[in-house]
Structure 1
Amino acid sequence: MIASTLDAYLNSYIARREPFGEAVASTIRHLATAALKLRNTIHQGVLGAGFADSHGHVGGGGDAQKDLDIFADRLFVDAMRQAPVRTYASEELEHAVLLNPAAPLAVALDPLDGSSNIDTNVSIGTIFSILPATGDPVGERDASFLQRGVVQLAAGFFIYGPQLALVLTIGSGTHIFIFSWQLGTFVQAYESVNIPSRTQEFAVNASNYRHWDEAVRLYVDDCLKGAEGPRGKDFNMRWIAAVVADVYRILVRGGVYLYPGDRRKGYGEGRLRLIYEANPIAFLVEQAGGSATDTVDRILDLVPTSLHQRVPLVFGSTREVERIGRYHTEPSNIGERAPLFSNRGLFRA
């Protein structure tokens, strides 16, 4: 039975999950309230004060901050002060901050994913991860976030696009809620979305081709050769430069996404952050029947070593993610480099 509203869905979750059910549901509600406020600000566009301005500041994750990045972070940290959250971590802050020593949860966020799209009216979003708080509540504040992604209690993102959508998992499938302006609440639009295991669509920033390792170049080359190449089918290529928009598309219609490490300075370990980007995305994707890796290893099994740790990220349709892994581990057995995988091969996929 489809829950008609986010509240109804969260109420059903509380009844099933102890000891964190009530705390997780309350935190998601506070996140949703903050996201609605942020959406209202985004709707102002350049008419709002300082919408896309930047004053040379750099966030904790090392990226240049725009005024809206800072506004979004303050909005969400204020919301988390009202929720049962012990520590809060963000791309915009160098270290986690202590909110309530007695609270049971830790929340990590990318408050505004896709900042480069702010002034071009392209979809942007907020990514969040909810974890059980661990360690001394007044000691090392980053400790709660240095847990493997498999321990996440909930994860999701808000996407500020043509619709205000919430993509959410609490460990029982991935669900999509759309905000109804008529009803004034989030309403479930997709129940337990499922990513097809095969695809003919990939997302990658092809401008970085010359910087990629050979495995990534070979994979993209084989896709671009289309029906006449070793894959035996034509592929579409997409890139939005806001990972939330690419995740949303893949959840709804399938596909695979690649943001590998490359030879540029600072990109050797990829660009996306493990704790507040890759882990929540991987949780959502796996709960939708897909896969997520660092090109070879499962993202949710990685042990973070620092709050802003970067990681290569490949996610989406399981068969395609597995194939990309083989380009890295078994290159001689892939594509035109092996007769069985050639255009007339037995294992064309």
Structure 2
Amino acid sequence: MPNGPKTLTRYTIEEEHRHPGSSGEFSALVNVVATAAKIIANQVTRGAIIGAGAEDESSVSGRLDVLTDEIMVGQTQWSGHLSGLLSEQHATVLPATQRRGKYLLAYDALDGSSNIDVNLPVGSIFSILRAPQEVVDGKAEPADSDFLRPGVEQVCAGFTLYGPATMLVLTTGSGVDGFTLDREIGAFVLTHPRMRIPEDTSGFAINAANERFWERPVRRYVLECLEGVEGPRGRDFNMRWVASLVADTFHILTRGGLYLYPRDTRNRALPGRVSLLYGANPIAFIVEQAGGAATTGHERVMEVPPAQVHQRVPFIFGSRNEVLRIERYHREPDAGKRFDSSLFGTRSLFRTAIHDQRT
């Protein structure tokens, strides 16, 4: 066995060797996606330098959304490993420009792009499916319907995190491994083998500003966490919110926790906010392979039947026992205390002063 760090290239080749008869096409595709991630990382780190001096400098994130999508398409569409691509930036499927490959790629080239303007973490998310054989054989054109399959049919999922270090987290259905970009050699190196999410946690991530729109089961859960050692949970919890799906996912993979972007009442026609095919499904695949769980509150995310390519769903994932608790609360929506006050009503800095004024 060769000495030194295990690069992503070596890792994917070794994975291929475990499957006799493999053509090498899959490992080549993963490395093409990794190359796109390296290019995107370089662009992201330039931040506001991109487009500096242009007439419209109002939105670095908007320019990078377009640019990073162009990078992903430019690196993968011609490679011969894909039959079609799907992303938020395109209304419908993009066909491969060369020969038809065995796979389909759904991706979000720049998740959390609104964080770019304030220099917070962002990333890319991707999901790989097998293409229908008739599409591979050229007997049919790639279509939206080819992507409308539940997450359990994914053959690979991953995300990159562009932070102080550029990370790539990957699963092919046999656990989760994390890689760090070594810029001196220009390669991703295995640094976080066999990542596991603790079953229990004392931390959760949610956008507290949306409290008034939450359904009762989520309000119940958050209230119980905020009551701390005096409440039914019997311990204190920490709350955080980065507004970057990949950043919160990596935090949960390394330290445990629960992420909640639940159904809310703002728009009844839009029950969820996270894209299913190129957001929730790949993250759910990774989380489950790391020992966690992922739910909409009512069903396992990876079993949700997609109805359209840009479908959005509620998304709750993380430490398994907390996810199971949330699911149980959704099955008994009228249980628990009333939750009529502010999130911080029971533990506010101003509670004593307000109480004194009333008495």
Q: Is the Cα contact below 8 Å between 1:53 and 1:66 reproduced in 2?
A: no
Partner of 2:73: 77
Q: 1:21 to 1:211 in 2, by over 3 A?
A: farther
Counterpart CA distance in 2 for 1:95 and 1:51 is 33
Instruction: Spell out the pairing of 1:178-257 with structure 2 (5 A cutoff).
Output: 178-257=180-259
> C-alpha displacement at 1:148, in angstroms?
1.2
One-letter code aligned to 1:298: R
1:319 aligned to 309, 318, 321, which one?
Answer: 321
**Secondary structure of the structure 1 residue equivalent to 2:223:** helix
Report what 2:126 is aligned to.
Answer: 128
Shift of 1:102: 2.4
| Structure 1 CA distance for aligned equivalents of residues 20 and 173 of structure 2 | 13
User: How many residues of Structure 1 are paired with residues of Structure 2 in the alignment?
Assistant: 331
Partner SS for 2:41: helix
After superposition, the C-alpha distances for 1:202-222 in whole angstroms (9 at most, x for unaligned) are 000010000111111111111
Which runs of 5 or more structure 1 residues have no equivalent in the other structure?
A: 58-64, 338-349
**Cα deviation 1:254-307 (Å, max 9, x = unaligned):** 001010111112674210011000000000000100000111211111111110
Q: Deviation of residue 48 (structure 1)?
A: 1.8
| 1:185 Cα deviation after fit | 0.9
**Structure-2 change in CA distance of 1:84 and 1:320 (3 Å):** same
1:233–1:41: structure 2 CA closer, same or farther, 3 Å change rule? same
Structure 1: how far apart are the matches of 2:23 and 2:255?
A: 31
The one-letter amino acid paired with 2:215 is: D
1:86 to 83, 86, 98: 83
Q: TM-score, normalised by structure 2?
A: 0.86
- Looking at structure 2, the residues matched to 140 and 276 of structure 1 have their Cα atoms a distance apart, in angstroms, of 17
Q: How does 1:285-324 map to 2 (within 5 A)?
A: 285-324=287-326
TM-score, normalised to structure 1, is 0.89
Question: Given the superposition, is the C-alpha separation of residues 20 and 300 from structure 1 closer, same or farther in structure 2, using an over 3 Å criterion?
Answer: farther
- Per the TM alignment, residue 50 of structure 1 is displaced from its structure 2 partner at its CA by 6.0
Report what 1:280 is aligned to.
282
Which residue in the other structure is 1:107 paired with?
A: 105
Distance in 2 (alpha carbons) for counterparts of 1:25 and 1:51: 41
1:67: which partner in 2? 63
1:155 counterpart residue number: 157
Q: CA-atom RMSD, angstroms?
A: 2.6
Gaps of 5+ in 2: 340-359
Q: Output the amino acid matched with 1:316.
A: G
For the 8 Å contact 1:223–1:231, the answer to whether it is kept is yes
Query: CA 1:336–1:45 in 2, change beyond 3 Å: closer, same or farther?
Result: closer
Contact kept, 8 Å, 2:121 with 2:163, in 1: the verdict is yes
Percent identical pairs in the alignment equals: 42
One-letter amino acid of the counterpart of residue 4, structure 1: K
Which amino acid is 1:255 matched to? G
Q: Which amino acid aligns with 1:27?
A: L
